Chains A and B, each alone.
Chain A
Amino acid sequence: MSQKLLETDGAEWVKKGIISSEQQAQLLALYPEEKPAIGLLPLLGSLLIALSALSLVAANWQDLPELVRLGLLLGSITGSYVAAEYFLRRQYKSLGIGLVGLGLILFGASIILTSQMYQLIGYDLTGLLAWAVAGILLTWLYRSRFLFLLTVIIGGIVQGYNTGQLGVYSYFTAALTAGGLGYYWWRRPDSLLGGVLATGLLWQSALLINHLHVKITWFFVPAMLLYAAGDWQRNRPAGRALQGPPLVAAFLFTLGLALFGEADTYADRLRPPLLAYVAALGVVLALSIWAKRARGHLSSTTDWLLLLPGFYLPGGLALTVGTVVVLYAYSGSVLARAHQEQNQDRVTLGTVLFILTTAVAYFRLTWGFMDKSLFFLLGGILLFGLSWLLRRRAAQTFSTKTSE
């Protein structure tokens, strides 16, 4: 609750007898007045001056003596950390953390520019690895969500550079991101950070699959491992946020299979050795179900419907129909659970998924032979009808909730 709300509405609450004026004073004392934010104009002004200095240095970078370049880099790193500490001590929290972030970015830039200066880049990955390590340590030190986000991005960049430019995959970077940031999230569960971390780790998994030149469906083993980790998290919103990106990936993949799976041409590229794939995914499934039982939300096991390996079936109409059935089962289960939990956001989400599935199914099954104007007309009517039906159902659920 913000201090402003307490101040403005507090008097009203006292008047209505909800709280006493002593309680209002106690509440106000709980939320001390925040330092006023630094004016926007001076901030913009200093930003412009900094940009001018930056462009001046960048234009003459090659001509500067090496020692001057090194001095500039080290000076700017130290400068931003010192400024950060200065502002943090004066309680300007966001500005201070922003400057720490700037220092971290400058550290990475310094490693790259120094390596370029001595033509060292491309030899090994210790340099950039140090960047990710610094990010993780700073996140733990300042307990900052901004630094966490920045470090996830840095980890992704470092790994992208390793695989793209050096042709190697740094398992250490991946383990470091998963361990260092994952443990941070585990101890301080947070929805936003869960989503960010999962996206970053999925990116690194995708790079690994690409690097190993294995069938792309192997991607779902690390992705669902992430999902299972979300099941173990005691904080449900944070756990669900971690599970979001893997599920989005699985849903999009299944949707793609329904749309394009009919041609068997590239279905071959999706098929890893059956036994190994199913065994690996089975282990992850077992971990996930174990967690769901332990944490008491076994009903969400329906998420795993999306992981049914339908791509082993021969391509053709059977595959399309099968995939559409799976998609319906999944979006239907999301809707059913949402109504059960009376959760408005999830009802909306389930509705969107359901309509999306219908659109895909309709397109796949009728585009080929139906007259086009009839196709669009019927499609429109179908979607209107569906949305009306789903909305009515949702309205019923929530009216019973409010009447209770």
Chain B
Amino acid sequence: MPTLLDSPAFPATAPSAPAASLSELPEARRRVGAWWLVVAQVLFVLAVAAAGYATGVLGETVTLLTTPIDPRDLNYGDHLNLSYSISQIPGHLWKGDAVPRRKQAVYVVLEAHPSGYEARAVYPTEPTVPAGQVVLRGWITDAFRRSMRLRYGFERYYVPADVERKLRPKQRLRVQVSIAPWGQARIKQVDILPLPKTAKATR
């Protein structure tokens, strides 16, 4: 069986014709290429930052409620896996002709309610909506007979240290998500809702 054992200990770069033509680049050209690559990498990181900043500033803000956070998540370092009230959507909101499939990209129409935005309809193609409603892009992770689970891309929240200290198991969060005109969305702010027990007491 051929393995690395077959090869001599030194690199077996055969001095064949193609290898020779592919030897070192001319020094000057390599240097120019290297500088372009450095500039491109710096610009890319800046673009990621700019996209994040612009989504926060230019985007439309919607408020979403999460389901209680998984207590196990609190033990695992720096992030939470959030599940929203709009992550699980009843099947009758589906407006497509075909049956929804796993991994399909969908457009969710959200409408403002006093407590936060809730899903109004789910389309397979981008719909136009009246004022007061917003469209959010998502992906189906599981399609059941009477409901479907969606992923939006902001399920993962990197918890700042001051927020982390206040978190308790089973806590619900109110999350402000900013949706950019070009469809990108990100978490802008997270507020901790009172624990269910205290909520009952104030009622």
Contacts and interface: CB of A to CB of B under 8 A. Distances in A.
Contact of A237 (B6, B41, B187, B188): B6
A198 to B, nearest CB: 10
Contact of B49 (A117, A122, A237): A117
A142 interface: yes
A191 interface: yes
A264 B141 CA distance: 33
Interface string B19-58: 1001111000011011001101110111011011101100
A70 B187 CA distance: 19
A85 B160 CA distance: 37
B153 A124 contact: yes
Nearest to A134: B41
Contacts of A107: 41, 44-45
Nearest to A331: B1
A282 B22 CA distance: 35
Contact of A238 (B12, B22, B156): B12
Contacts of A189: 12-14, 16, 19
B161 interface: yes
A279 to B, nearest CB: 26
A61 to B, nearest CB: 10
Contact of B51 (A120, A187, A238, A239): A120
B45 A190 contact: no
B183 to A, nearest CB: 10
B37 A138 contact: yes
Given A234-B16, A346-B6, A122 B44 contact: no
A187 B17 CA distance: 9
Interface string B50-80: 0111011000000000000000000000000
Given A123-B153, A235-B16, A134 B37 contact: yes
A107 B19 CA distance: 30
A74 interface: yes
A78 interface: yes
A225 interface: no
Interface in A222-239: 230, 234-235, 237-239
Contact of B7 (A188, A237, A330): A237
Interface in A176-218: 187-192, 195
Contacts of B13: 188-190
Contacts of A103: 38, 41
Nearest to B31: A85
A330 B2 CA distance: 12
Q: Please tell me the size bucket of the interface on A.
A: 35 or more
Contacts of A74: 42, 45-46
A166 to B, nearest CB: 8
A235 B1 contact: no
B157 A119 contact: yes
Contacts, number: 172
Interface string B168-203: 000000000000000011111000000000000000
A153 interface: no
Contacts of A241: 2-4, 6-7
B5 A349 contact: yes
Contacts of B2: 230, 239-241, 243-244, 247, 300, 346
A143 B23 contact: yes
Interface stretch (A108-116, A255-263, A394-402): A108-116
A35 B65 CA distance: 63
B144 interface: no
Given A118-B49, A122-B154, A188 B19 contact: yes
A190 B185 contact: no
Given A143-B24, A189-B12, A190-B12, A167 B151 contact: yes
B155 interface: yes
Contacts of B101: none
Nearest to B190: A119
Contacts of B151: 167
Given A191-B12, A192-B11, A240-B2, 20 more contacts: A70-B49, A74-B46, A77-B41, A114-B49, A115-B52, A119-B186, A120-B186, A122-B153, A122-B156, A123-B153, A137-B37, A138-B37, A142-B30, A187-B22, A190-B11, A190-B12, A235-B14, A244-B3, A247-B1, A346-B5
10 contacts: A74-B42, A118-B53, A119-B157, A127-B48, A130-B44, A145-B11, A188-B19, A195-B3, A235-B14, A346-B5
